[in-house]
A and B are shown apart, each in its own frame.
Chain A
Amino acid sequence: MADLIRNTLSAIFPEAAKFELVDAYKGTKGHVAMLAGLEEIKAKRAKGRLRRAVVVYGFYSEELIRQHESGSILDASGVFYLRLPALLSDIERVFREAANTQVVENNAIDEKSFRDYAIQEIGAFKHRCDNLWISMEMNANIAKMDIDNSPETMPSELFEFKTSHIEKLLEEYRKLAPMARRLGIADANKVTGMMDKVIGVVRQMQDKKTSPINALNLAFVCVEKGRALSTILEKVKELKYGK
């Protein structure tokens, strides 16, 4: 249905090629706070990917759309709302305006939408980091028990410390770092460096010359650094829920 509407509108008004046409609901099921279409615009704008104007369409009033949690994106530069059904003249007017709109770079996303999106993304990232540090601490403690019993044997749990896990998170954070800085998270700049250090420590652990006891000590160093990193990102919770 959404495709049919978009294709029909695009066929009637060739200027539609100059902007994005997005269904506000776009597969959203039930009565939810987040509208999938608006969320998509929010994500693209926050990541700096969507610099063209957008016409959002839907069958509900603009007032109702704005009441949704994701409704504030309609305040961003170059975002228009078209309520259907509409007269062809009204559609043409909105489309012409959208086609002639240059998105203002520093207002590509409204502040509320940006904050909501950035907090959500960084929160999810922190959650993944926490999972990793928890699993590292778990494995380190099991390894400690094993070493107490058999000091010369490298506990298998220490092989669960993998640089690939941290590298993946580091790659993710590099994309999130500008948002973290814009949110004003203190020490956001230190996170990449800290992750690099954890990767370095894991490499040391994997060195064949490293003894089991040294590997174990390094494992706890990883855990400590990871926890410190999470403390920096803890700030998003404060931003979301207040102190």
Chain B
Amino acid sequence: MASKRVLFIDDDFKFFEKTLRKHLGKVGFEIRCEENPSNALRVISSYNPDVILLDILFPEGSLGKPTLEKIKKKHPNLPVMMITSTMDKSEYKSEDYLKADYRYSKEALTAGDFSDLATQLNRLIQRAKAQEQEKDDDTGLNRFGFIVGKTTAMQEVVNIVEDIADQNQTVLITGESGTGKGLVARSIHSKNSSQDRNFVTVVCAALPRELFESELFGHEKGAFTGAASQKIGKFEIAGDGTIFLDEIGEMHLDTQVKLLRFLQEREFERVGGNRVLQSDARIIAATNKDLNDLVTKGNFREDLFFRLNVVSIHMPPLRERKSDISLFFEHFVKKANKLSQKSVLTILRPDVERELTNYPWPGNIRQLENAINRAVARSYENILQVSNFPDLNQINSEHSGFSSDVSHIVDSVYDGKLKWDDLKREYGAKSGMRKEVFLKIIDCWTEKNDSRPTSKDLAGLLSASDNNIRRVLKQCSIKLTALPKQQ
């Protein structure tokens, strides 16, 4: 079994090192010592410890507290145990160490017994793992609030988010619809120290041109016809938080001028008002359009583009991150289970994975989420099958040049032109289509005969054996007895 890694940060670690290493080593711990707390983050990155033992008092002063804060900011789930000889209330103010997971007195080591320390370390590691698991079970998301995945493009997105979160620059997020631009905007906001402040979204395309200024900057009572009362604009609501301008490429040129003025001066007036107001809100804009192209065509102001494009983040489309589909699948199945009160397993069958990977996903992650939501809602099994993705299956079939006109197929069956062997040949690997065809055949039968068919009836119609039909019905999860007796 792999050792649990302990990082011991203490300027006097030499007094304890050998003994701790020997005795904790016997119970499955590996110890790495670091005397300088300012190296903590660097060592954590390279050593990847399971738990940290952190001293409080260092030669430069009580660096335990700021070091704890730095660690917890960057690695909130990494357990930190404060360990010190200073447990006196006058020197160890517990309110300073609220973020610590445990505090341990070095005095407790004087007996030469490490079982208690080992127990506490194990407890913290297990708790952190359980929390991680719980968090994962709950949402499947990481600390960024979106799925990072394996692609270099998304790793780059994460790096930028980390780098800029604590700063206040304007950010421009580009990418196709449904790639998660809004989630990244939220992530930047939530990782900022001002995360408790407001996050206000303005969908630029949804605002009529004449109302845009009033929506953004507010208006005074009587400013224009219909302005019956004073209205506080989005910038005032955002305060010193974040304002997310979604679909900025749809913004009309007139309103672009007003936004530009705000970005330059950080000042605005409510429509019809005289008082100059200020806002420190961070601006994050997003678009699925090519702003460079819009600038060339004269549909987007170049100066506004430069003002917005201080830091740019590009979200790759789902077709360029197909290796992440399994991660999305797991996350969305969990989410859909909650929505539809089901307990579908997050197992991704190879044939389903193939279907999902072959599909081009023009609507990106949003479309994938919708497809999985529908699949979970309509599934009667605990593992999703290809048949649970009929739309997808249909489009994939179209891509493969196969006719997807189910009604036409059913007609051909009733006309005697298509038999079981034909269907088997055409739909063999496409159980989704097969299920749909079977359901349609059953519907037609019920309609024509005013009663639902038996497996024998279907076998007769398709010139197949009863056993074959029963097997296929079972594979497609069709229970004839569960269907209505009559239309």
Chain A residues close to B by CB (< 8 Å)? 120, 124, 127-128, 130-132, 134-135, 137-145, 156-157, 160, 165, 237, 240-241
Q: Is the CB of B112 within 8 A of A141?
A: yes
Q: Is the beta-carbon distance between A134 and B106 smaller than 8 angstroms?
A: yes
- Tell me which residues across on chain B come within 8 A of A139, comparing CB atoms: 19, 112
Per-residue A-contact encoding for B104-134, CB less than 8 Å = 1, 0 else: 0011011111000000000000000000000
Please name 14 further chain A to chain B contacts, defined as beta carbons within 8 Å, in addition to the given A130-B86, A134-B15, A165-B14, sorted by A numbering: A124-B57, A127-B86, A131-B85, A134-B106, A137-B110, A138-B16, A139-B19, A140-B112, A141-B110, A142-B23, A157-B112, A160-B18, A160-B19, A165-B15
Binary contact readout B274-302 vs A (1 if CB under 8 angstroms, 0 otherwise): 00000000000000000000000000000
For the complex, what is the distance from the CA of A18 to the CA of B111, rounded to whole Å?
58
Determine chain A's interface SS by DSSP, over half rule.
helix
**Are A130 and B112 touching (Cβ within 8 A)?**
no
B88 within 8 Å of A by Cβ? yes
Whether B484 sits at the interface, judged by CB under 8 Å, is: no
Residues in A with CB closer than 8 Å to B15 are: 131-132, 134-135, 160, 165
- Asked if B381 CB lies within 8 Å of chain A CBs, one says no
Contact surface of B with A, Cβ cutoff 8 Å: 10-12, 14-16, 18-19, 22-23, 57, 59, 61, 85-86, 88, 90-91, 106-107, 109-113
Closest to A159 in B: B18
Complex: A157 Cα to B112 Cα, angstroms: 10
Partner of B90 from the list A137, A143, A157, A241 (CB cut-off 8 Å) is A241
Q: Which residue of B lies closest to A238 (CB)?
A: B90
The answer to whether A138 and B59 have CB atoms under 8 Å apart is no
Distance between Cα atoms of A157 and B111 in the complex (Å): 13
Q: Contacts A124-B57, A145-B112 given; indicate if A138 touches B85 (C-beta within 8 A).
A: no
Chain A residue, CB-CB nearest to B11: A128
Bound complex: CA of A82 vs CA of B16, how far in Å? 48
Partner of A237, one of B88, B107, B111: B88
Contacting residues, chain B, for A127 (C-beta < 8 A): 57, 85-86
Number of interchain pairs (Cβ within 8 Å)? 64
Shortest CB-to-CB span from B13 to chain A, Å, is 9
* A131 to B91 alpha-carbon distance, docked (Å): 15
With A and B bound together, what is the CA distance between A217 and B360 in angstroms?
78
A240 to B: closest C-beta gap in Å:
8
Are A138 and B12 in touch, CB under 8 angstroms?
A: no
CB-based contact B19/A134 at 8 Å: no
Closest chain A residue, CB of each to CB of B113: A141
Distance in Å: Cβ of B101 to nearest Cβ of chain A: 22
20 A–B pairs (Cβ distance < 8 Å), ordered by A = A124-B57, A127-B57, A128-B11, A130-B85, A130-B86, A131-B106, A132-B12, A135-B12, A135-B19, A135-B109, A138-B16, A138-B109, A138-B111, A141-B111, A141-B112, A142-B23, A144-B112, A160-B18, A237-B88, A237-B91
Contact in complex: A134, B85 (CB < 8 Å): yes
Which A residue's beta carbon lies closest to that of B13? A131
- How far apart are B333's CB and chain A's nearest CB, in angstroms? 45
B12 A142 Cβ-Cβ under 8 A:
no
CB neighbours (8 Å) of B12 from chain A are 128, 131-132, 135
Instruction: Kindly report which residue of chain B lies nearest to residue A165, judged by CB atoms.
Output: B15
Q: Are A237 and B90 in contact (CB under 8 A)?
A: yes
Complex: A141 Cα to B19 Cα, angstroms: 12
> For A120, what are the chain B residues with a Cβ–Cβ distance below 8 Å?
61
Interface centre among A130, A138, A157 (most CB of B within 10 A): A138
Measured between beta carbons, the chain A residues less than 8 angstroms from B85 are 127, 130-131, 134
Cα of A51 to Cα of B15 in the assembled complex, Å:
38
The winner among B15, B90, B109 for most chain A CB atoms within 10 A is B15
Q: How far is the CB of B107 from chain A (nearest CB, A)?
A: 6
| Contact of A138 (CB < 8 Å), options: B57, B90, B91, B110 | B110
Minimum-distance CB pairs A-B, first 6: A141-B112, A135-B15, A142-B112, A137-B110, A131-B12, A130-B85
Beta-carbon contact of A135 and B88 below 8 Å: no
Instruction: Please indicate the chain A residues that have their CB under 8 angstroms from the CB of B88 in the complex.
Output: 237
B80 to chain A, nearest CB (A): 19
When distances are taken between beta carbons in the complex, the residues of chain B under 8 Å from A240 are 90
B19: A residues at CB distance < 8 A: 135, 138-139, 142, 157, 160
Q: How far is the CA of A154 from the CA of B423 in the complex (A)?
A: 85
Cα-based distance from A134 to B88 in the complex (angstroms): 15
Q: In the complex, what distance in Å separates the CA atom of A241 from the CA atom of B88?
A: 11
**What's the Cα separation between A128 and B19 when bound, in Å?**
18
Of chain B, the residue at the smallest CB distance from A164 is: B14
Q: Smallest distance from the beta carbon of B49 to chain A beta carbons, Å?
A: 21
